[in-house]
Amino acid sequence: MNDSDTSGQSSAPLDGVDSTSGEPLGSTPDTSGEPLVLGIETSCDETGVGIVRGRTLLANAIASSMDEHSRFGGVVPEVAARAHLEAMTPTINRALTEAGVTLDELDAVAVTCGPGLAGALMVGVAAAKALAVGLGKPLYAVNHLVGHVGADLLQGDGLREAVGAVGELELPTIALLVSGGHTSLLLVRDLVSDVEMLGETIDDAAGEAFDKVARLLGLPYPGGPQIDRVAAEGDPHAIRFPRGLTLPKDLERHRYDFSFSGLKTSVARWVEKHEQSGESLPVADVAASFREAVADVLLTKALAACRDLGVPRLLLGGGVVANARVRELARERCEAAGVELRVPPLSLCTDNGAMIASIGAQLVAAGHEPSGLGFGADSTLPVTEIQVR
């Protein structure tokens, strides 16, 4: 970033690197006070930069390239990467202004290094490395999925909504993460050292299925909000669409895994058959019935994990959590099962830099050593790698 780009923010000279190892000279920050951490998130189509002090959210700046992808009906990786490149500096500056801090005041920089779109991740990783080296600050490369759990730790005026429980997040917890690129069920025993993947989608992610079904119904991209809007006027029990991987034979091998490809195909066949009959398509009923099938499977599997593992709490994360029926069904079923439900504010459910800064701050507070400069973007980073060294 040049001087005009930084809006007066001062920066350290480019001398914060060991000339032999190439590692940042900044050691693990002093944890006597709450660490001030800037987080960068570029795993998909949103450039997110967040700043936290410990668990207090100071800034959550997001630049979305969704409009650029809408004409293609989905995210185009090359377009996303270029959009991140163009938005990075302005978004960093906006976050600094919102937080009322300068770059020199930061204790550390955190960045998503995976999983996600490789080209998009590379932009964020490069920007974070440049900041860490230029400022002589420690750098923490963290896992995108774990970041969604870290969002629930953040505190601030008006952040906690009535959707879920209040107070400290207790561990262990089951975490259901649902977005356009991921549908994952996690067991979180310790946020910075022990996260286990219980199950994930074996084909389409839930958000991806929403986009594809929306296209079948003639609704614009992104499909999730559009189906949610239309479904509000429909009957969720009008059509019994299949619930993937819920039959006894499937549960033996895929108890906590998800599949939405068959559901999407079933909707396509139903729509095709109905259109061939010459009747008008009941879009609202199809949307409501599809949404119900997705929400049913998500919550059935998540609460099965809570029951099987004896964990009386469930945390939801990811953009699909914005779906009204998913939240409503989660409240109903968690209350009936005696399970505590936690849902971060919707502004922190979608991809954002604040959740990455949150994990970075937790790593600092736990005394973890910073990552070196040798890590790269890893589009298939396993959730067990919370921090990449």
Q: Give the pLDDT confidence score for residue 26 in this predicted structure.
A: 54
Residue 25 has pLDDT above 70, yes or no: no
Mean pLDDT of 319-329: 93
Structure tokens at 294: 């997705």
Q: Give the pLDDT confidence score for residue 7 in this predicted structure.
A: 37
Mean pLDDT of 25-44: 78
| Residue 67's pLDDT band (cuts 50, 70, 90) | confident
Mean pLDDT of 249-261: 96
Q: Give the pLDDT confidence score for residue 159 in this predicted structure.
A: 67
Please choose, from the candidates 264, 156, 274, the residue with its C-alpha nearest in 3D space to the C-alpha of residue 214. 264
Q: Give the pLDDT confidence score for residue 68 in this predicted structure.
A: 77
Q: Give the pLDDT confidence score for residue 15 in this predicted structure.
A: 40
What does the pLDDT look like over 124-142, one tens digit per residue?
999 999 999 999 999 999 9
Residue 316 makes CB contacts below 8 A (sequence gap 6+) with 164, 175, 176, 177, 178, 326, 327, 330, 341, 342, 343, 344, 349
Q: Give the pLDDT confidence score for residue 365 in this predicted structure.
A: 96
Q: Are strands 108-114 and 36-41 parallel, antiparallel or unpaired?
A: parallel
Helices 261-276 and 206-216, axial angle in degrees (round to 10): 10
Please choose, from the candidates 328, 339, 256, 330, the residue with its C-alpha nearest in 3D space to the C-alpha of residue 299. 330
Lowest mean pLDDT segment, chosen from 9-13, 57-61, 147-151, 225-229 = 9-13
**In the block, residue with structure tokens 């599997």:** 301
Question: What size, in residues, is the chain?
Answer: 389
SS3 string of the chain? CCCCCCCCCCCCCCCCECCCCCCECCCCCCCCCCCEEEEEECCCCEEEEEEEECCEEEEEEEEECHHHHHCCCCCCHHHHHHHHHHHHHHHHHHHHHHHCCCHHHCCEEEEEEECCCHHHHHHHHHHHHHHHHHHCCCEEEEEHHHHHHHHHHCECCCCCCCCCCCCCCCCCEEEEEECCCCEEEEEEEECCCEEEEEEEECCCCHHHHHHHHHHHCCCCCCHHHHHHHHHCCCCCCCCCCCCCCCCHHHHHHHCCCECCHHHHHHHHHHHHHHHHCCCCCCHHHHHHHHHHHHHHHHHHHHHHHHHHHCCCEEEEECHHHHCHHHHHHHHHHHHHHCCEEECCCHHHCCCCHHHHHHHHHHHHHCCCCCCCCCCCCCCCCCCCCCEEC
Structure tokens at 326: 């998913």
